[in-house]
Chains A and B, each alone.
Chain A
């Protein structure tokens, strides 16, 4: 595997080591390659967690947390072999061991088996202030060690940045194999945010796309061509129970839950033309939002549920529009460039993230809706399907690398980048879960 370190400030060699170690261990899953971090990452040490049970310890929590924090691009992580001591309790920590290496924060802890599973006790220490920031315990069911580690990462990240961590979230994506051959297959997959624990939700010989999450993270909706034409399905993750929601003549596409989970915005072309509709999931009644001879597609909701934004080529090429669902008033949002599509509004309501073409190349870009300024976030090409993490810090998107579809992540400010190359197939159509 080649690690591409690009960007202004390559992170320490440690990141490379972590990436290599994880890439090697994650066969058949998405690995992670960090390509760019912030200019002055904060030096953080995550000490290997002490195991207080019998026998061999399970996977090291410290290693999983270290990789979580490294992936945020905001921290320079210390390798365990460079640590002068390996404390597992705050009382064992000698400040000078860390200060001498310029380390700003130390996260340490231990895990022990309990009757019901595992218990972690952990603490975060501010080296320069010589102050304990928190000391806590957290329990998990047996076999949930990785989930336990991600919860600790969430806590540390929030303490250090003021933003809730999104390490305990999941990803949906589609893996296509043997494209353009008779053996073509499509799989809808779900994995942890770090690419681990991948599982298949649906497997088909026909295309699957446009998967998205319900606000409670319990249900997914997607488009499947399994009957030879596109139809929208809803599937409960835990049970696998599935329901076909729409199967009209023509397109049945782009299903997206409203923020309250009661409705689905979607695209139908049964009227001869792709338009945006809203399906009430209780009454099963459809109402038509747009009615225009142009292509109207790719709806998504504003955080308050008051408006739907969508792609339309009513002005010639594809641009982003916004419609108030009550007044039906329409406003065009994008004016920079001749191809802007598949937009999502960030939770703060101020920024739009979408696919933007510049000089013939498709990038992920944001637009400040107050000032109108557009910022291109990615240097890759053929980028599409941006999906924002629930804490608003990062977006995952699909791109191509060496002739294959891969997923990549960029921070909303464009400063941090990493990629999740898969060992097999074309990976596309990512959707980041809500907080779970």
Chain B
């Protein structure tokens, strides 16, 4: 439990610092012969939170915080249960990302769609894809080139908060932009 709340704290710190999500590279191995549990799979104690001075947030004229390169800081967009519509706040923030992406035509992003754990896994994969598509379509409607945008849905497989509570669910129903 301690680790969990520490994790949540770290996550919000991360969000504030806008660390671009480092995608873990796909590595799967077939194990026809059962492999003994690796020691690395055991829960490693969480590293003590590193206190890095946060870059002073810059805001643009609409009041959205930007990082040093001018990229909008917020990159997570939340949804209602079994819904795929963007909220007004999300649209406003996405418009900022659209501006940034149009000015930086070589930047490509992955739009990751997620769902909460309720309901079935494959339906939630479809739901996550719908949410990611809604974000992609909106960015395209703002003039972002489709070649800059790639979508992937993780459904309920990648929660940020693994608990079974309303607040965890509301955090897990999301789309994340990975620059």
Contact = CB atoms under 8 A, between A and B. Distances in A.
B28 A224 contact: yes
B121 interface: yes
Nearest to A228: B26
Interface in A330-354: 339, 341-342
Interface string B67-96: 000000000000000100000000000000
B123 A200 contact: no
B122 A206 contact: no
Nearest to B22: A182
Interface string A269-287: 1001010000000000000
Contacts of A327: none
Given A200-B34, A226-B26, A210 B122 contact: yes
Contacts of B162: 179-180, 403, 426
Contacts, number: 145
Given A239-B32, A253-B125, A355-B120, A180 B7 contact: yes
Interface stretch (B39-47, B48-56, B100-108): B39-47
Of listed A210, A227, A230, A400, residue having the most chain B CB within 10 A = A230
B129 A204 contact: no
B41 A178 contact: yes
Interface string B94-134: 00000000000000000000000111111101110110010
B122 A267 contact: yes
A132 interface: no
B2 interface: no
B47 to A, nearest CB: 10
Contacts of B25: 228
A146 interface: no
Contacts of B44: 183
Contact of A251 (B37, B40, B119, B125): B125
A342 B125 CA distance: 13
Main secondary structure of the interface of B (DSSP, over half): loop
Nearest to A235: B30
A298 interface: yes
Contact of B28 (A181, A226, A269, A382): A226
Interface in A306-365: 311, 317-318, 339, 341-342, 355, 357, 362
B121 A210 contact: yes
A198 B25 CA distance: 27
Range of interface residues on chain A? 35 or more
A13 interface: no
A202 B161 contact: no
A178 B43 contact: yes
A403 B31 contact: no
A254 B133 CA distance: 20
A311 B26 contact: no
Nearest to B160: A180
19 contacts: A178-B43, A180-B159, A203-B35, A204-B27, A205-B27, A209-B121, A225-B26, A225-B154, A225-B157, A239-B32, A250-B129, A250-B153, A269-B129, A295-B130, A297-B123, A298-B123, A311-B122, A318-B119, A384-B120
Interface of B: 7, 23-32, 34-35, 37, 40-41, 43-44, 82, 117-123, 125-127, 129-130, 133, 151-154, 157-164
Given A198-B34, A207-B158, A382-B117, 16 more contacts: A185-B41, A201-B32, A204-B26, A205-B27, A209-B121, A225-B157, A228-B23, A230-B152, A240-B31, A251-B126, A274-B126, A311-B120, A342-B120, A403-B163, A426-B162, A428-B121
